[in-house]
Amino acid sequence: MIIKKITINNFRSYYGYNEFELKDGLTLIIGDNGDGKTTFFEALEWLFNTSTENIKATNISAKRKKELGDGDSDKVVVSIVFQHEDGDKIVEKSFEFTKHSDNIITSNFSFKGYECHGAERSLTDGKNLLDRCFDYDMRRYCLFKGENELNVFENDTALKALVAKFSDIREFDKYVDLASKMEEKSDRNYKRELKRDSKNEKEADELDKDIENLEDKIINAQKDLKKQQEVSDEFNVRIEDLANSEEIRAKYKQLQSRLTTLMEKRTHVANLSEINYNYKLLDDLWILCDFPQTLKSFQMKVSGANRQRRRMNDAYIEKRGRLEGQQDALKEITKNQQGGPELDWDIPGPQVLEEMIQDHRCKICGHVAPEGSTELEFMKQRLANYYKHIEEKTRKINEKVEETEKPLFSFNYLNELRTISTSLSGERQREIIQLRNVIADRIKFVVDRKEELKKIDEQIEELENDKKNLLIQSNLSEGIIEKDIKDWRGYYNQKQRADDDIYRLKSEIERNKEKLDEKEQEYSNLKPNTGMGKVYEKVHRVFFCVKKAFERARKDNLRHFIDKLTDHANNYLKRLNTGDFHGEVCIDVREDDRARIYLVSNGERIMNSNGALKTTMYMSILFAISDITTQKREDDYPLIFDAPTSSFGEIKEDLFYNIIDSINKQCIIVTKDLLYRDPETNTSKIQEQKLSNLKSFVYRIQKEEGFDSNDLSTISTHVERIK
C-alpha cells in the first residue's frame, strides 16, 4: 500500500479542500506550532480508525461553521488514494454538518471505498476495503505521534500478534495448547494402565509424587519468575523514564552543584564583607582612628597652656616687683613724713602745710591766712586729704602685696597634662597612626568583597534563571528532579535484585524441568506387562513427541522471527546512526512471549542511552517490521510520524532526514524541523539549504495570515507544496 494522495476537507483547521500528493519515499510536512501538523496526523488517525464513526462537531472547521447560513450544509471529508496490488484504491470518510439556529447538527456518516479499474471505479465499503488492503493489526505499526509511542513492544501482545501475522502459520498457539492437553490425557490413561500392574504400581506412585512435587516447584518458580519479571519491568520502565530525563537531571545536577558552590562562596564572602563595628571600635581601638588629630590638638593646647603659664608667671613676677616697688615707695614717703625730703614746690609737703597752718601764712604766695579764713581751711583740708590718700594707698598696696604673696598656680594640672601628652606620643602615637591604615585597608577589602558579592549574586541569578528555564522546558518540578536523582540508584538496585532473582529462578526452572524429564524418562522406562499397557505406552509416546514437536516448532518459529526482526532493525539502526555510536538492538523474549527491546554493546545492556538513540532504535524496529511485511506479503505500508525527532540535535536531524530520504520506504513525517525564526520578521522560515539536499516532496503548512489570535473561526491552514 502506497498512499498517492491525501485530501482533507473542512477537518478542523483544514478549511475547505486541501490536497497532499505523496511519493513512494519520504514526504515532509513542515509547520510551526499551531499550523496544523497534529491536525493532519489526527485526520489520518480518524480515517484509519474503522471501529468508530466519531462525527463530533469539534472535528469541523470553525471557520466553515461560522460561514454557514441558517440551514446551510457542508461536509467534512478525509480521503486517501493508494496503490495496492492490482490498482489504485480510494477510501473516503465523511459526514455532513448543517447549521440550525446557530447549532451545528452532524449527520450522514459515510465510509466509502472505490476500486479503480482503468478509468472506471467501483464503489465498495470503505471499512472493508481498508481492512483488506491495510489490516487493523498492521495499522498500529503505521501512525506514531511523538517519540513516546514508537515502542510497539510496550504492548504485551504485540510480539504474539506479529509472529501470528508473519509466521504464516495461524493458530500455532492453539495447536501447541491442544497437543499439550492430548499428551496429558494420554499420560493419565497410560499411567492408569501402568498402575494396574502391581509390579509397577509402587514405583509409579513414587514417580507420580516426585513428578507432582517437581511440577509444583516449577509452577511456583514460574509464578515467582513472572512476579520478578513484572518487578524488573516496572523498575525498567521507571529507569527508562528517568533515562528520558537523564540529560535534564545531569544539567540540573550541574546547575545545582555550581549554585551550591556559589552559595558557599557567597556566604564566605558575605562574612568577609561584614564588620562588627562594636568590636572593631572598642576592642580593636578603631575609635581612636582620629586620635592623632586629637592628640596633636591636645598637645598644642598643652603647649599653649604652658606658654600661657610662663607668660602669666612672668607677668606675675613683674606685677609683684612693681607692687613691692610701690610698697617700698610708700614706705619711703611715710618715712619722709617724719623728716623725709621735701615735696616739689607746686606740691607742698605735709610738713610745709603744717608749718603754713601753724604760721597762718602761705609760704608759696606769702599771703596771711588768719584763723577761720578760707585759705587756712583750704590748707587744713589739703593736709587732711593728703594723709587720707596716703593711708588709702598704703592699704591698697598692702592688699596687693598680700595677694601676690599667694602662689600663682596652686595646682599641678598643667604638669599632669604635659605628662599625659608625653605618654601618648612616641610609640603609642605611631601605633595609632598605623591604625588608620589598617582601617583603610580593611574598608577597602570590604568594598572589594561587596563588589565580589555583587558579581556572585549576578551569577547566582543567572544560574537560577537557567534552572527555572530548565524546569519549564522539562515540565518537571524541582522536587521531582531531586526525588528522581535519589530514586535512580534505588531503582537500579531493585531492578538488579529482580534480574538476579530472574536468573536464579530461570536456572531453577531449567534444573527442575531436567529433573522432570528424568522422572518422565524413568516413568517411560517402567515397562507395562499387560498387552493394553504396552499399547497405551506407545500411544502416549506418540502424543508426547507430537507435543514436544509443536513446542519446539513454535519456539524456533518465534526465535527465527526475532532473529530476522533484529537483523533488519540493526541494519536500520546502523544507517540511522551513521558516524555515531549505536550499539545493537536486542529483543528479549520472556516466558510469556512478551518482548522487550533494548540496546547492547559487547553483550552488555546500555542503560542510559540518549533519547535520539532510543528513538532511532524504536524506528529501526518499525522499519524492520515494515520490511518483513513487504517480504511476506509482497506489499508495503506507509509509516507516518508526528514530530518523531524532538530529542534530536540539529546535526542528528539533518542526518536522519537524509537517511530516511534514501530508504526505499514510504514515510510521511510531520515536523517543525528545518524551520528557523527570522529575527527581522519574527516569522518562521524554511532552511532552504537543508531542504535542497533532500529528494523528498516537501509541504509547508501554516496559518493563513490575518487571523485573530482569540477567534478560532479565523484560523485556517494554508497548504503549499514547496518542493
Partner 1 sequence: MDYLYSMSKIFFMEKSQSNYDRLLAAIIENPQLVSIGDYNPTDYESIDEALNSDNTVVKALAMFILSGNKSETQIYNEISNFLINNLV
User: What whole-number distance in Å separates Cα of residue 226 and Cα of residue 506?
Assistant: 10
The nearer residue to partner 1, 175 or 707, going by C-beta atoms, is 175
Q: Please return the burial class of 630, using the count of CB atoms within 10 Å of its CB with bins 0-12, 13-18 and 19+.
A: middle
Query: In the numeric block, which cell numbers belong to residue 691?
Result: 531542504
The nearer residue to partner 1, 335 or 538, going by C-beta atoms, is 538
The nearer residue to partner 1, 203 or 635, going by C-beta atoms, is 635
Q: Taking a C-beta distance cutoff of 8 angstroms, is the pair 14, 684 a contact? A: no
| Residues 626-685 within binding reach of partner 1 (CB under 8 A) | 631-632
DSSP string, 226-278: HHHHHHHHHHHHHHHHHHHTHHHHHHHHHHHHHHHHHHHHHHHHHHHT---HH
Sole binder of partner 1 in the list 546, 589, 643, 686 (CB under 8 A): 546
Query: In the numeric block, which cell numbers belong to residue 94?
Result: 465523511
What residue type is 634 in one-letter code? Answer: E
Q: How far is the CB of 177 from partner 1 (least distance, A)?
A: 10
b/e map of 222-233 (b: 16 or more CB within 10 Å)? Answer: bebbbebbebbb
- CA torsion sign for 329, 334, 337, 338 is negative
Q: Please return the burial class of 670, using the count of CB atoms within 10 Å of its CB with bins 0-12, 13-18 and 19+.
A: buried
The nearer residue to partner 1, 549 or 651, going by C-beta atoms, is 549
The answer to whether 535 contacts partner 1 (rule: CB under 8 A) is yes
The nearer residue to partner 1, 564 or 718, going by C-beta atoms, is 564
What residue type is 311 in one-letter code? Answer: R
Piece in contact with partner 1 (CB under 8 A), picked from 102-110, 199-207, 422-430, 533-541: 533-541
| Residues 183-202 within binding reach of partner 1 (CB under 8 A) | 185-186, 189
The answer to whether 229 contacts partner 1 (rule: CB under 8 A) is no
The answer to whether 167 contacts partner 1 (rule: CB under 8 A) is yes
User: Considering only CA atoms, which of 710, 687, 672 is closest in space to residue 29?
Assistant: 672
DSSP state of 169: -
User: What whole-number distance in Å separates Cα of residue 294 and Cα of residue 74?
Assistant: 101
The answer to whether 545 contacts partner 1 (rule: CB under 8 A) is yes
Which residues, 6+ apart, have CB-to-CB distance to 89 below 8 Å? Answer: 81, 82, 83, 113, 114, 115, 116, 129, 133
The answer to whether 179 contacts partner 1 (rule: CB under 8 A) is yes
| Residues 343-372 within binding reach of partner 1 (CB under 8 A) | none
Sole binder of partner 1 in the list 66, 117, 136, 169 (CB under 8 A): 169
The answer to whether 178 contacts partner 1 (rule: CB under 8 A) is yes
The nearer residue to partner 1, 66 or 181, going by C-beta atoms, is 181
The nearer residue to partner 1, 99 or 554, going by C-beta atoms, is 554
The nearer residue to partner 1, 291 or 544, going by C-beta atoms, is 544
The nearer residue to partner 1, 498 or 516, going by C-beta atoms, is 516
User: Considering only CA atoms, which of 668, 586, 568, 585 is closest in space to residue 627?
Assistant: 568
User: What whole-number distance in Å separates Cα of residue 106 and Cα of residue 456?
Assistant: 64
Q: Taking a C-beta distance cutoff of 8 angstroms, is the pair 330, 390 a contact? A: yes
The nearer residue to partner 1, 433 or 545, going by C-beta atoms, is 545
Which residues, 6+ apart, have CB-to-CB distance to 554 below 8 Å? Answer: 172, 173, 176
The nearer residue to partner 1, 235 or 561, going by C-beta atoms, is 561
Q: Could you give the dihedral angle defined by the CA atoms of residues 519, 524, 526 and 529, in that order, rounded to the nearest 10 degrees?
A: 160
Piece in contact with partner 1 (CB under 8 A), picked from 284-292, 404-412, 475-483, 536-544: 536-544
**What does the per-residue mask of binding to partner 1 show for 2-31, with x meaning CB under 8 A?**
------------------------------
Sole binder of partner 1 in the list 182, 255, 438, 659 (CB under 8 A): 182
Residue written as cell 513472572? 226
The answer to whether 552 contacts partner 1 (rule: CB under 8 A) is yes
The answer to whether 564 contacts partner 1 (rule: CB under 8 A) is yes
Kindly report the number of other CB atoms within 10 A of residue 606's CB atom: 20
The answer to whether 318 contacts partner 1 (rule: CB under 8 A) is no
DSSP state of 714: G
The nearer residue to partner 1, 446 or 546, going by C-beta atoms, is 546
Strands (DSSP E) along 85-230, which ranges?
87-100, 103-117, 120-125, 143-145
| Residues 99-118 within binding reach of partner 1 (CB under 8 A) | none
Piece in contact with partner 1 (CB under 8 A), picked from 202-210, 426-434, 451-459, 552-560: 552-560
The answer to whether 527 contacts partner 1 (rule: CB under 8 A) is no
User: Considering only CA atoms, which of 324, 459, 469 is closest in space to residue 404?
Assistant: 324
Residue written as cell 540508584? 489
The nearer residue to partner 1, 166 or 623, going by C-beta atoms, is 166
The nearer residue to partner 1, 95 or 536, going by C-beta atoms, is 536
Q: How far is the CB of 572 from partner 1 (least distance, A)?
A: 20
The nearer residue to partner 1, 134 or 166, going by C-beta atoms, is 166
The answer to whether 316 contacts partner 1 (rule: CB under 8 A) is no
The answer to whether 160 contacts partner 1 (rule: CB under 8 A) is no
The answer to whether 137 contacts partner 1 (rule: CB under 8 A) is no
The nearer residue to partner 1, 223 or 534, going by C-beta atoms, is 534
Q: Taking a C-beta distance cutoff of 8 angstroms, is the pair 623, 571 a contact? A: no
The answer to whether 557 contacts partner 1 (rule: CB under 8 A) is yes
Q: How far is the CB of 568 from partner 1 (least distance, A)?
A: 13
How many residues line the site for partner 1 (CB under 8 A)? Answer: 36
Piece in contact with partner 1 (CB under 8 A), picked from 361-369, 480-488, 541-549, 679-687: 541-549
User: What whole-number distance in Å separates Cα of residue 77 and Cα of residue 285?
Assistant: 92
Q: How far is the CB of 519 from partner 1 (least distance, A)?
A: 18
Angle between helices 531-576 and 650-662 (to 10 degrees): 120
Radius of gyration of the chain (CA): 60
Sole binder of partner 1 in the list 56, 430, 538, 695 (CB under 8 A): 538
3-state secondary structure of 407: coil
The answer to whether 687 contacts partner 1 (rule: CB under 8 A) is no
Q: How far is the CB of 514 from partner 1 (least distance, A)?
A: 17
Piece in contact with partner 1 (CB under 8 A), picked from 68-76, 110-118, 165-173, 319-327: 165-173
Sole binder of partner 1 in the list 82, 111, 144, 561 (CB under 8 A): 561
Taking CA atoms, 248 is separated from 467, 485, 488, 665, in Å, by 10, 11, 13, 34
Query: Could you give the maximum distance between any two Cα atoms of the chain, in Å?
Result: 213
Binding site for partner 1 (CB under 8 A): 166-172, 175, 178-179, 181-182, 185-186, 189, 535-536, 538-539, 541-543, 545-546, 548-550, 552-553, 556-557, 560-561, 564, 631-632
